[in-house]
Amino acid sequence: MSPKALTPLLNVTDLHKSFGTNKVLRGIDFSVRSGEVLALIGPSGSGKTTALRCLNGLESPDSGVVSFAGGPEVAFQPGLPAKKAQVLRDRSAMVFQGHHLFPHLTVLQNVTIGPLQVQRRPREEVMARANELLERVGLEQKSSDYPSSLSGGQQQRVGIVRALMLQPDLLLFDEPTSALDPELVGEVLSVIKELAQEGWSMVLVTHELAFARDVADTVVFMDDGVVVEHGPAAQVLGNPTHERTKAFMQRLLHPF
């Protein structure tokens, strides 16, 4: 693993979020340094996906602060207009569990629409970068195909390229392999691992503990809306100190 810079990139402070009476986040804090890979793990319903979505402004927490070094900083409060959280998307890009590619656009259009139409970068540069990245993930032959003609693993790799094309400082992955057939998981994980080795900063919600141990620098274990344990991947995954973390690991390692 490449040496990591120590410059802070993202600071998340005291996120609270309720859906009705259901308190999903009850004071979440963590930070990400530049080049760091942080894995968010925890049982389903622990709030990890909600926490991740807050970082991209897709979810509006009731309170708390999401702050990127050098801006933007968003202090959430009830009734905060959705527009105010949009600025977070200047720094982060999201890869969804269900890829959410645009079915009516070709692979190339899917990955270039953001840079061309929103960021208004020069067409030549965008096209060159798109072709380079599609080639990197082994999909240069598919650039004029529609997403429906790709396999699940190929679709998710396009989803990753779409996020990379936005030139974010932080990549967000929401269980990027959970919707895939088991034999397709590897091709997606290996792309993510390469990106990690290249020094991309990322926050990764995942159920793949072996992968988290392999790729992540830091692991945050969440349960019931709070951060239970936060530390170096080897320590949290290999030698957890909290009972709840231990029990979770046991359940994943010995499901039967």
Rule CB under 8 A: say whether 98 interacts with other proteins.
yes
- Find where tokens 């396999």 sit: 151
CA distance 140 to 161: 11
CA distance 220 to 70: 24
CB of 65 to other proteins, least distance (A): 20
In this chain, which of 2, 21, 117, 144 binds other proteins, going by CB under 8 A?
Answer: 117
Rule CB under 8 A: say whether 119 interacts with other proteins.
yes
| Strand 37-41 with 63-68, pairing | unpaired
Which C-beta is closer to other proteins: that of 116 or that of 226? 116
CB of 113 to other proteins, least distance (A): 7
Which C-beta is closer to other proteins: that of 84 or that of 230? 84
Q: Which stretch binds other proteins (CB under 8 A): 26-34, 40-48, 130-138, 147-155?
A: 147-155
Count CB atoms within 10 A of the CB of residue 182.
Answer: 7
Q: What three-state secondary structure class fits 173?
A: strand
Count CB atoms within 10 A of the CB of residue 7.
Answer: 11
CA distance 148 to 14: 40
Q: What three-state secondary structure class fits 131?
A: helix
Rule CB under 8 A: say whether 142 interacts with other proteins.
no
Contact present, 171 and 202 (Cβ < 8 Å): yes
Site for other proteins in 150-189 (CB under 8 A): 162-163, 166
Total number of residues that touch other proteins (CB under 8 A) = 29
Rule CB under 8 A: say whether 64 interacts with other proteins.
no
Rule CB under 8 A: say whether 44 interacts with other proteins.
no
Residues that bind other proteins (CB under 8 A): 56-58, 82, 86, 89-90, 93-94, 96, 98, 100-105, 113-114, 117-119, 146-149, 162-163, 166
